[in-house]
Structure 1
Amino acid sequence: MGTENLRRLSEAGVAIWLDDLSRERLQKGTLAAMVRDSYVVGVTTNPSIFQNAVSKSDLYDPQVHDLAVRGVHVDEAVRSITTADVREACDVLRSVYDASDGVDGRVSIEVDPRFAHDTDKTVAEARFLWWAVDRPNLYIKIPATVEGLPAIAQCLAEGISVNVTLIFSLERYRAVMDAFLEGMERAQKAGLPLERIGSVASFFVSRVDTEIDKRLDKLGTDEAKALRGKAAVANARLAFEAYEEIFASARWTALAAAGAKPQRPLWASTGVKDPAYPDTLYVDELVTAGVVNTMPEATLDAVADHSATTGDTVRAHYAEAKQVLADLATIGIDYDDVVNLLEREGVEKFITAWNDLLGSVGAELTRLGGEE
C-alpha cells in the first residue's frame, strides 16, 4: 500500500492515529510497522476494540491462565489485560511522543463505560488506569456526558492526560473545552508542569450522518434527499470553528504562556457506514492543521490508496456548514434530539461491548482453570 497520500495528509497538519489495538498487532510488529511506514502517530481503543481483540486471539491465553490460577475477579482480569496491551503500545509510540514534545505518540484507554454517569467512579477509575499503565504518553478516555465534565476537569487538574470521547453536539463540545480550561487552570495553581498534560476532544462524525440520513429518508422529499451525507461534515466543521474561537481567547492565551498545549479536536468514528459514500469522506472533507483523525485500518488503507487530499477543507466552509444545519432544521430535523440520542446510544453500545468483553474473559478464566 502506498504512503504518498498519508504523507500529504500528515503534512497538511492532520495527525493520523489508528483506531484499533490488539496483542497480535503488538507481538507481530504490525503496529510498529505502521508507525514506521504509514505516518501513524497515535492509537485509540474502546471496549469494542478490546472485545474484538480478545475474542479472536489465543495470544491472551498465557496471561488469562495466570489470572485464573490467582483467582482474579473478571473485572480486574479485564483491567489487567487491557492495561497490558496499552502499556506496550505506549512503549511502541514512545519515540513519537518524545520527538513531538508530547503532542503525539499517545495511546488511549477508556474508563469503564458503566461509570459514564458517575463522576466520582469515573475519576477513581481514571486514577487507577493512569497508575496501572504508568506511561507519560497515555490518554484516559472519559465520555463527554454531563457527569463526565467535572471528571475531565478533575483529572486534568491532577495531571492526568485526557481524551474526551463521545462528543456529538456543538453545545457539549463547548462545555468540554470549558472543562479542559478549568482543569488546566487548576493544574497551574497546583504547580503542575502544564506542558506534560495533554488532551484531545473526540468529536464523532459518521454516526451523525447515519442517524440524520435515516430521518431524511423517512421524510423522502427532494429537499431531504439533497441533504443526505452532509450533516456530519458540517457538524464537525462548526466544531472546529468553535475550537478556533475558544483557543484564541485571553483565558487560553494565559495558559499557553504557562506552557500548556491546546486540546486538539479529534475526528472519531471516521469509517463510512453508508457504502454509497466515498470511503475516505470523513478524512478528505475534514483536513485542517492541528487536528487528529483516528481511523480504523480499512479507512487508513483507503486513504493510502486513493485519498484526494488537496489542502484545508474546513476553514473556508463555515458558512456552508451553518446553512446545512439551518436547512435540516427547516425541514424538521431536530438537531438536539439527534445528538442527545447519539450520546445515549454511544454509552449503551460501549456498555454492551464491555459486558461482552467481561463475558469472554470470564469464560476463558473458567476454561483455563480459574473462577470468576
Structure 2
Amino acid sequence: MPSAEVLATGTELLSGDLVDTNSARIARALQPLSIPLVQITVVGDDLPRMVAAIRAAMARSEILIVSGGLGPTVDDVTREAVAEALGRPLIFDPELFESIRARFQAFGFPMPENNRRQAFRPQGSQVIPNPIGTAPGFLVEEGDRVLFALPGVPRELERMLTESVIPYLERRFPPAEAMVWRVVRTIGMGESVIDERLRDLLKGENPQVGLNAHPGMVDIRIRARGATLEEAAARAEAAVQTIRERLRWAVYGEGTCTPEEALIAGLRERGLTLATLERGTLGLLGGRLAAADPESHVFRIGEVRSRLVTAPEHAAEAIRRQAGTAVGLAAEVLPEGENFQIAVAMATSEGSRSLQRGHRGPLPHAAEWAANAAMGLLWRWLQEAP
C-alpha cells in the first residue's frame, strides 16, 4: 500500500497569518482511495529548506503533494525546489506560456511579464491544468514515486485534485485492500471517560480507533481495513455499534453532523420548541441554533444580554415562559480573575438541569465551551427523556 505526504509551503503558514486548510482537503480526498496520509510538513518560502523537505518526503513515501509556491513572484520557489531536489533542469514550455497568456486575455487583462515564470516546469514533468486560475500545476514521476505540485489557492487546488490528481492516483495505485472511515460525534462526555469506556477499541489495530477532543465534544475516528469494501464496512459498522452501546446518550451523530443540527432535528421530531438566553458567549449559542433552523421550526428566539439578573436555571425558565416555548436554554460566561466561570442550564415544564465549570483560556474558547455545554445538556435530556 502506498503512503502519501503533504508539503504545505508558504512563510505565511509559519507566521500564523494564514491557516493551512489545503492539507485537510487533500487528506479527505485521499481517504476513498485507501491511501493513508502519513505526514504533513510545513515549510516557508526558503529554497534550501524546501529542497531538503522534498528529498526527505520522497525518500519516505510513494506520493508527495506539494501545495503553494507556484505563483509569479520571486518568493514562489516550488518549481525551482522540485527541480533541484530531483536533479532536473527547469525548462520553458511555450505551449504552457500561451495558455497562461490566453487566460489573462479571457479575464480582460494584459499578462504581466513576471507571469512568464509560471511557464517553467521541471524537465520530464507533466502539466496539471488549472481550469480556474493562472497557476498551472505539474506532476513528476520518479521511479515508483510521484510528486504533484499544486497552487495554494484553495478552490484551485480542490478543483485540480478532483479533476486531475485523484483520477491519476486511482489508475496508478489501485488499492490492494479496501478502507472505510467513519466518524462518531459525541457531546457532553469527557475525553477521559470515553477513553476508559473504549479502551479495548483504542488499542485495536483493525479497526483503528482514535479520539479527537474539541471544547465540550469528542470525535471518535474509525479506520477499518478489509479484503473487500464490504468487509471493511462491516468492521467499521461493528465498531460504531459498540461505541453507541457504550456511550449511549453522548453520541449525537456521525460524519459532518453538528450538535446544533442534531438538536434541531431531535426537538422537531418531538414537536418541541426552543428559546435561548445568553451572556458573555459572543452570541454563539443562539447564532448556531438559528443557522441550523433557518425557517424557525424549532428555534423561536435567542437573546443576548449584558448580564443575567438571576441564576442560569431561572434565566432558562424565564426565557421559556417569555417565548412560550417548550424548552429554555441559558448560558453565561463570567470573568473570574484571569479565568472564566461557565454556567449553563435548561428548563422545561417538568423542571431544570444545570452545570458549572471553570475555564482557563481566551474568551472565544470559553464561549465555545459554553455553547457546546448548553447543547450537550439539552441533548442528554432529549436522549434520556421518556
Q: TM-score, normalized by length of structure 2?
A: 0.28
Is the radius of gyration larger for structure 1 or structure 2? 2
* Structure (1 or 2) with the greater helix fraction: 1
Q: TM-score, normalized by length of structure 1?
A: 0.29
Q: Which has the higher contact order (CA 8 A, sep 6+)?
A: 1
